[in-house]
Amino acid sequence: MIHMSLRDVIMGGVFGPISIGMSPDQVREILGEPEAMARISRKDRRPRIWRYGDLQFIFDGSEDNHLWSVFMDNFGIPSGGMAIDLDPWIIRGGIALEEVEQHLRTARIDFRRAVDRYDQSIRGLMVGQRAALYFYQQDDEDASLGFGLGAFSCSDPALHSNFKDRNLTKERYLGCDVMISVSMKEFLCTGAFGPIHLGMPRTNVEEIFGPPNAMSTTINDDSLPAIWKYGDIEMHFEPSDNLSSIYTDEFDVPSGGQAIDLDPWILRRGIPWSEVGPQLVAQHLSYSERGKTTPYDKATTRIVMDSGVELIFEDHVKRDTTPIACGPPGLYAIEFIRWP
């Protein structure tokens, strides 16, 4: 077996005989065949994640396919599987942020704290130019429980130009906080969801936003999920695998999750039409009321923007007689659909 120490990895990015930048053949020659392999997206011609125990070796997807990062999450006491004799040092899943900081000080290892701008439940310790330790709030309702270690990564910034998967670069391996900005007011005005538009192929959506945080179990003709979800936002794909609609009905204040920096403007669950209408007029956003097209529509008011985006309001008067379960009176869904 090959010996590796997480202390050495954290201090200097040293993975025993493995070096960032190696080719898959070089890694295989040293460690043997991985226990599991996976593609990051369906565009990949070859697997880019190789797993040995808890360690994931990530290749950059360039023509030479260099080793770009080593990543680990969902671990107790870290293991290197059958190929790697891994010395975990003090690292274990859930270890407190303050305890790790004390060990780093004792070992005279320089580090700095980082806070995710968009998710206050995440803290990071950055060590040198390569290593990052990610800590997650142990209980969303009880902040006194503090932060416990949930993930670790070590990567080479010099290879970033080859690594094009936005979601992996931003969220899992670098901790970088670059997000795609989307304005709901602009969406209502133009129908453009940031750089996304209806009719766009699924592969282009993935290139921009990265992989979704949730998918539907319903599949299309290509055996791919019919719905991708980013935060509260659903992306629906037609059988041709092009984006057919953008929809949300499960929100308090609309959120784009980790991939989308979503500005909700005034929109929130249950906001009455009496508040939204004057704001549309003040912003010179034209709209009309769509006629009722289905039996279920008798319980709603649909406001159709000139862009085609619809704001769906529950009818206060008919709320008690609706045959379907709806949320509080007021706005409960936003939809933009590509009609045949």
pLDDT of residue 213: 83
User: Nearest to residue 86, comparing CAs of 2, 180, 172?
Assistant: 2
Same domain, 217 and 246: yes
E strands present in 111-201? 112-115, 122-127, 131-137, 147-155, 180-183
Q: Per the structure block, which two tokens stand in for 212? A: 């979704």
Same domain, 166 and 222: no
Same domain, 35 and 114: yes
Same domain, 73 and 13: yes
How do 84-87 and 2-5 pair as beta strands? parallel
Q: If you count them, how many residues does the chain have? A: 340
Q: Give the integer Cα–Cα distance in Å for 6 and 78.
A: 9
**Rg of the chain, C-alpha, whole Å:** 24
Cα pseudo-dihedral 100, 135, 173, 78, rounded to 10: 60
> Which residue, of 173, 200, 222, is where some domain finishes?
173
Provide the domain limits for residue 233: 182-337
Same domain, 6 and 84: yes
Same domain, 133 and 246: no
pLDDT of residue 176: 37
> Which residue, of 121, 149, 173, is where some domain finishes?
173
Burial 18-50 (b: 16+ CB within 10 A, else e): bebebebeebeeebeebeeeeebbeeeeebbbb
Q: Give the integer Cα–Cα distance in Å for 69 and 90.
A: 21
Same domain, 314 and 275: yes
pLDDT of residue 194: 83
What's the whole-model pTM score?
A: 0.50
Same domain, 163 and 203: no
Same domain, 216 and 238: yes
pLDDT of residue 115: 66
**54 touches 70 (CB < 8 A):** no
Q: Give the integer Cα–Cα distance in Å for 244 and 286.
A: 23
Q: How many domains does the chain have?
A: 2
Q: Per the structure block, which two tokens stand in for 57? A: 């070796």
Same domain, 260 and 289: yes
Which single residue is written with the structure tokens 């065949």?
Answer: 33
pLDDT of residue 130: 79
Q: Give the integer Cα–Cα distance in Å for 134 and 31.
A: 26
Which single residue is written with the structure tokens 């993975």?
Answer: 15
pLDDT of residue 211: 81
**127 touches 10 (CB < 8 A):** yes
Same domain, 188 and 159: no
Per-residue pLDDT of the chain (340 residues; tens, 9 = 90+): 899 999 988 887 778 899 888 999 999 999 999 999 887 766 677 888 899 999 999 888 777 888 988 989 889 999 999 999 999 999 999 999 999 999 999 998 888 887 655 556 778 888 876 788 989 887 656 556 688 999 898 886 554 433 333 333 333 333 334 467 789 999 999 999 988 889 999 988 887 787 888 888 666 666 688 999 999 999 999 888 899 999 999 899 999 987 788 999 999 999 999 999 999 999 999 999 875 556 555 457 889 999 999 999 986 544 444 444 445 579 989 999 976 5
Sign of the torsion formed by the C-alpha atoms of 90, 94, 95 and 101: positive
Same domain, 149 and 113: yes
Q: Give the integer Cα–Cα distance in Å for 205 and 227.
A: 12
